[in-house]
Amino acid sequence: MILHELISYDVLRVIWWLLMGVVLVGFAVTDGFDLGAGMLLPFVGKTDLERRVVINAFGPVWEGNQVWLLLGGGAIFAAWPHLYAVSFSGFYLAMFIILFALILRPVAIKFRSKNEDAAWRTRWDWILFFCGIVPALICGVAMGNVLQGVPFKLEDDMQIHYLGSFFGLLNPYALLCGLVSVAMIAMHGAAWLQLKTDGEVAARARRIGSMAALLTVVLFLLGGVLLFMFIGGFQITSDISTTGPSNPLAKTVEPVAGAWFANYAAQPMLYVVPVLGLAGAALAWVLMLASRPLLALIMSGVGIAGIILSVGVSMFPIILPSTVDPRMSMTVWDSSSSHTTLFIMLVCVLIFLPLILAYTSWVYSIMRGKVSADDIAEGRDHAY
């Protein structure tokens, strides 16, 4: 028996659907706190020294955190080529803005303190705010559009036509999802700053973070209610092969009211996922107010994971629905790479992901402890 046949095609497809969720959560939880800290920089740091403390709280680790973004893009390209083609072409301008912000962020971190001019430093501080809030907002907006469906169609030869526009993505429900994303990233960044700093910076992070956590709970609940009452969802209404070759045109999909909640009705245990999103954010709020920053950071991470994974759980097995012709919607069963490709990639993940996690854990262990304003004031060379 060929080795890759030990794991059936349908199981491999589900494994890679799960891994896509893991990568998205990994990016949001790790890179999320430094995006959030940058977003909060002008508000938690009132003096130049305080703002340098904030930058030095996330500056040494942001590059390692961003590995999850590269891993996610590569994984989608290799495991879900149809999904990659539609999303990266249809959301091209949005993706470009995110990449522009992420490229500009290290420039701001490196150059901000090279000049002692106050106006120079203030401009870079607001650029870091921009580089934090824009990726968070656009990622949330993208998720809101995925839940509503995306205007694309496929020709018989799999040629893709995206029929929407950038400003069409900025609809009310998508903007609400964007606000959920901004609130939860601000919560996570504030929890990190409360853990890594002290004094007035930590106190301001505590106040802002607790408000962001409460806002995350409220907005996530509101998004769920509106999704149930007005958005509807999509449902496969024909037979579909879970082990056949990928062909998004070989099925029938229809918009159905309440379809995104059908999985919860069929498997009530799945409610644990959105409950974790709500409970994590709520506990982060309580723990930040109680000045327990490490537990608050952990709970905010749990909340972020629950919020992101609830989207995947709601939509399964659909990954990207089409509003132009619903039968062209991408699903777990008909938009993946081949059996062999998925198996080889899984072997690579099993080898390299533990190494990445071990290295990341080691780095965070080395960088543990609070950032001291005294060390920065003394002009240590390593300080940003």
Among residues 358, 355, 345, the alpha carbon closest in space to that of 19 is found at 345
Q: Is the pLDDT of residue 64 over 90?
A: no
The pTM score is 0.93
113 pLDDT tier (thresholds 50, 70, 90):
confident
Is the pLDDT score of 91 beyond 50?
yes
Helix axes 9-44, 293-315, angle to 10 degrees: 140
Is the pLDDT reported for residue 133 higher than 60? yes
pLDDT digits (tens, 9 = 90+) for 146-192: 999 999 998 888 888 888 888 888 999 999 999 999 999 999 999 99
Per-residue model confidence as pLDDT tens digits over 213-253: 999 999 999 999 999 999 989 999 999 999 988 999 989 99
What distance in Å separates the CA atoms of residue 193 and residue 36, rounded to the nearest whole number? 9
Higher pLDDT, 2 or 60: 60
Among residues of the chain, what percentage have pLDDT more than 70? 97
Handedness of CA 268, 273, 276, 278 (dihedral sign): negative
Average pLDDT value for the chain:
91
- % of the chain residues with pLDDT over 90: 66
Res 1: pLDDT? 47
**What whole-number distance in Å separates Cα of residue 38 and Cα of residue 43?**
10
At 2, is the pLDDT very low, low, confident or very high (cuts 50, 70, 90)? Answer: low
pLDDT score for 160: 85
Of 87-91, 99-103, 369-373, where does the model show the most confidence?
99-103
- Per-residue confidence (pLDDT) for residue 121, from 0 to 100: 93
pLDDT-derived band at 329 (thresholds 50, 70, 90) equals very high
- How do residues 137-147 score in pLDDT, each as one tens digit? 999 999 999 99
Q: Rounded to an integer, what distance in angstroms lies between the CA atom of residue 288 and that of residue 148?
A: 34
Is pLDDT of 68 > 90? no
User: Scanning the structure block, which residue is given the tokens 């409610």?
Assistant: 271
Q: Residue 176 and residue 128: Cα distance in Å, rounded?
A: 23
Domain ranges of the chain: 9-377
The mean per-residue pLDDT over the stretch 192-203 comes to 93
Model confidence pLDDT, tens digit, residues 246-288: 999 989 999 999 999 999 999 999 999 999 999 999 999 999 9
